[in-house]
């Protein structure tokens, strides 16, 4: 499976790949190569979102993109909740290169307020929350608008997660399918 590397200089984004570090819900790296990759269709949709955000003076910070099935198992073992983590037996859109976790940043590189941080596996992370600050509600709506206008589907439980429509039409991808392994 050919995945498209995502990041500068070809994509005007900031990378903060949390699962390549201990700064994530598991507390340990679940893969060690800090490279964001997406299925070609997803990469095109990300480019469209980048183009829509640019006139607003906004950019994207990417927390996660393709996640090998082996890394999905590590995440599942650390936090096995269907509410927030896809069961690896069914397959995650991330493990197909069909999903991206991201937020908006301003022209100075500061994250816009979203009401919770990335991987806040609580009800506060759900898209339709009205019990978060009004600015966060606006920013979530802005992110949702940009991503849906670019052709992405959203996951209602995580404001940061966007995926291609019908991601299960794409095959799961493991470390062994890649030239360089991503596991720690």
Options 70, 113, 158, 180, the catalytic residue = 158
The question of whether 108 is a catalytic residue gets the answer: no
Element (H, E) at 163: strand 161-163
Q: Which residue is listed with tokens 């859109």?
A: 93
Contact call for residues 137 and 91 (beta carbons, < 8 A): no
Q: With contact defined as beta carbons under 8 Å apart, do 99 and 42 qualify?
A: yes
Strands 161-163 and 13-15: unpaired
Tokens of 111: 């994250």
CA–CA gap between residue 150 and residue 45 (Å, rounded): 6
Catalytic positions are 158
């Amino acid at each position: 499976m050919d995945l498209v590397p995502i990041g500068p200089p070809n994509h005007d984004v900031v990378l903060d790949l949390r699962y390549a570090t201990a700064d994530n819900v598991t507390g340990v790296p679940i893969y060690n190569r800090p490279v964001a990759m997406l299925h070609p269709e997803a990469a095109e949709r990300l480019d469209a979102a980048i183009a829509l955000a640019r006139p607003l003076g906004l950019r994207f910070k990417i927390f996660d993109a393709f996640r090998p099935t082996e890394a999905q198992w590590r995440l599942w073992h650390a936090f096995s909740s269907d509410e927030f983590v896809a069961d690896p037996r069914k397959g995650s859109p991330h493990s197909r290169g069909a999903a991206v976790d991201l937020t908006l940043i301003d022209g100075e590189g500061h994250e816009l307020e979203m009401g919770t941080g990335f991987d806040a596996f609580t009800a506060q992370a759900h898209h339709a929350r009205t019990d978060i600050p009004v600015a966060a509600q606006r920013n979530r709506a802005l992110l949702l608008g940009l991503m849906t206008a670019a052709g992405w589907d959203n996951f209602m439980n995580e404001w940061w997660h966007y995926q291609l429509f019908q991601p299960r039409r794409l095959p799961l991808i493991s470390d062994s399918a890649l030239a360089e392994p991503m596991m720690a």
